[in-house]
Chains A and B, each alone.
Chain A
Amino acid sequence: MLAIDAAAYRSPWRRRHPAAKAVLAGGLLLSALLLPPWPGAPITAAITLLVALGWARVPPRAFLRSARAPLAFIVTGSVTFLVSVDASGLAWAPGGAARAGEVIGRCVAAVFCQLLFAMTTPLADVLPRIARRPGLSGVAEVAGLVYRMLSVVLETVDAVRRAQVDRLGTLSWRARWRSVTGLAAQVFVLSFDRARRLEDGLSDRGYTGSLAVSVESLPLTGGFLAVAPLPGLVSAGLTLMLTSASAFV
Chain B
Amino acid sequence: MHIAEGFLPPLHAAGWTVAAAPFVVHGVVRLNRQIRENPEAKLLVGASGAFCFVLSALKIPSVTGSCSHPTGTGLGAILFRPPVMTVLGTITLLFQALLLAHGGLTTLGANAFSMAVVGPWAGYGAYALVRRMGGGLLGSVFAGAFAADLVTYCVTSAQLALAFPDPAGGFTGALSKFGAIFAVTQIPLAVSEGLLTVLIVRLLRSTSAAELIRLRVLKEGQAAS
B28 engages A138 (CB within 8 Å): yes
Residue from B43, B58, B60 in contact with A202 in the complex, judged by beta carbons closer than 8 Å = B43
Query: Is A77's CB under 8 angstroms from B7's CB?
Result: yes
B18 at the interface (CB under 8 A from A): no
B-contacting 9-mer, from A188-196, A212-220, A225-233: A188-196
Kindly identify which residue among A71, A76, A181 contacts B200, using a CB–CB cutoff of 8 Å.
A181
Q: Does B204 contact A (CB under 8 A)?
A: yes
- Contacting A at CB under 8 A, from B68-101, are 87-88, 91-92, 94-95, 97-101
Q: 29 pairs across A/B with beta carbons < 8 Å?
A: A4-B99, A4-B100, A33-B106, A70-B4, A76-B181, A85-B177, A86-B166, A93-B168, A107-B7, A110-B104, A111-B101, A117-B98, A145-B49, A146-B92, A149-B49, A153-B51, A153-B54, A157-B54, A180-B196, A184-B55, A185-B204, A185-B208, A188-B51, A188-B204, A189-B208, A194-B47, A196-B43, A207-B39, A209-B35
Using CB atoms and an 8 Å cutoff, list the residues of chain B in contact with chain A.
1-7, 10, 28, 31-32, 35-36, 39-40, 42-51, 53-55, 58-61, 87-88, 91-92, 94-95, 97-106, 160, 164, 166-169, 173-174, 176-178, 181, 195-196, 199-200, 203-204, 207-208, 211
Extra contacts besides A93-B167, A115-B101, A123-B98 (12): CB < 8 Å: A32-B6, A33-B106, A70-B102, A77-B160, A80-B174, A85-B174, A93-B168, A110-B6, A113-B5, A145-B43, A146-B92, A152-B50
Identify the A interface with B (CB < 8 A): 2, 4-5, 29, 32-34, 66-67, 69-71, 73-74, 76-77, 79-81, 83-87, 91, 93-96, 99, 103, 106-111, 113-115, 117-118, 123, 138-139, 141-143, 145-150, 152-154, 157, 173, 176-177, 180-185, 187-189, 191-192, 194-196, 198-199, 202-203, 207-209, 211
